[in-house]
Structure 1
Amino acid sequence: MSGRTLTSGEITLAKQLYKDSIDYDKVKIHNESYLPFDMQRDNVAMTPNGEMYYMKNTYEPDFSLAGINQQHLFMHEMMHVWQHQKEYMVRTRGLFSGVVSYYYDLDGSLLKSYPMEQQACIVSDYWLLSNYTINDWINYRNYKGKFSLSDIEGLKQKYVKILGKFPYSD
């Protein structure tokens, strides 16, 4: 389990959302299962310890050059890196991620009040909405609430309100 460091393109991509709140030199990306005996599902990435584990069909040699779906997944997993570096119990909480909902509503609570996987979905979906088209966001989002195609700015403002001063340092 050696892993590779982030490419300069991946660091630039991650900084769009996480700025300098992550120690990027500590991040490794593995092209293998985190779980023994390759028990990690093929379409699942895992980031239990500040390092990302992608199976062969989801791994990219440089996620900054990958398609939207893979970049969205990368930004989601980077949130787990951020959580780990902020001392969230990612590995322990991740044991239950297969039974928790990744879907969320923007109900006005702050990001900290959402469960770990929903936090990752919220920040990666916000990044997607901010950097790609509304149709791309519709195709890949985990947001389950209502929205109007005629009020995309209102939708963005809901995210901004939830995110508050993210990425905060505490």
Structure 2
Amino acid sequence: MLRIGSKSISSFLVLKKRTLTTSEKELAYSVFGTQLKLENIHIVAHRLVLQHYAVSPNGNIYFHQKDWRADFSQESIALQSWLIHELVHVWQLQQGIAVVKKALFDRRYQYAIQAGKSFLHYGIEQQAQMVQDYFLKSRTGQNCDDLKACIPFLKPTMKTSSEVI
């Protein structure tokens, strides 16, 4: 095993590591329902990740040390949505999608929702951006019916009394 001083290279590169907090799990559940397995996901501060970027190549989410948070659910809605975006990549991996391979060839984030087009036929970053946009819109009272209709794992919401009438 390669070492830097008394540390292995992997422990040298990992600055902080934790599992999802209870509140982060609740946040994830509000979007993914039971479709995302949350038990073994780690949030990692890693020396090789650039600031303002995150990567989720193996079911864990890696941030630059300055972007790492003790609990994303207690942060701004923008940072919460970033966590949701990265959790989409974890969901993709759990579905058997080759996230790293696809990310090498398709980095498109912009999307146009097309009627009848399956969520899985959008690129991996487009999928993550769609869910992030859904999260932001749903939390700020904006219409997100088009996204809700496209994203397969969204929890069904109860209709309000005005929608039932």
TM-score calculated relative to the size of structure 1: 0.76
CA deviations on 1:54-93 (whole Å, 9 max, x unpaired) are 1022211100001111111100000001011111101222
Q: Is the 8 A contact 2:148 2:154 kept in 1?
A: no
2:109–2:125 contact (8 Å) kept in structure 1: yes
Q: 1:26 aligns with which of 36, 40, 45?
A: 40
Q: Which residue is 1:84 aligned to?
A: 93
* One-letter amino acid of the counterpart of residue 140, structure 2: Y
The answer as to whether partners of 1:45 and 1:54 remain within 8 angstroms in 2 is yes
Contact 1:47/1:53 (CA < 8 Å) preserved in 2?
Answer: yes
**Residue 63 in 1 paired to residue 89 in 2?**
no
Residue identity opposite 1:166 in structure 2: F
What is the CA–CA distance in structure 1 between the aligned matches of 2:45 and 2:110, rounded to whole Å? 27
Count of matched residue positions in the alignment of Structure 1 and Structure 2: 140
Three-state SS of the structure 2 residue aligned to 1:24 is coil
Q: Where do 4+ consecutive residues of structure 1 move more than 3 Å?
A: none
Distance in 2 separating the partners of 1:47 and 1:103:
19
Q: In structure 2, how many angstroms separate the alpha carbons of the residues matched to 1:18 and 1:111?
A: 14
Amino acid at match of 1:19: G
Supply the AA of the counterpart residue of 1:119. Answer: Q
C-alpha RMSD of matched pairs (Å):
1.8
Query: Secondary structure of the residue that 1:166 maps to in structure 2?
Result: coil
Which segments of 5 or more consecutive residues in structure 1 lack a partner in the other structure? 135-151
Q: TM-score, normalised by structure 2?
A: 0.78
Q: Which moved more, 1:112-121 or 1:86-95?
A: 86-95
* Structure 2 portions without partners, runs of 5+: 1-13, 156-165
Aligned residue in 2 for 1:53: 62
Residue type of the alignment partner of 2:76: G
Report if aligned partners of 2:53, 2:64 keep a CA contact under 8 Å in 1. yes
1:8 maps onto 2:15 in alignment: no
1:107 aligns with 2:127: no
8 Å Cα contact 1:48-1:94 kept in structure 2: no
The equivalent residue for 1:121 is: 129
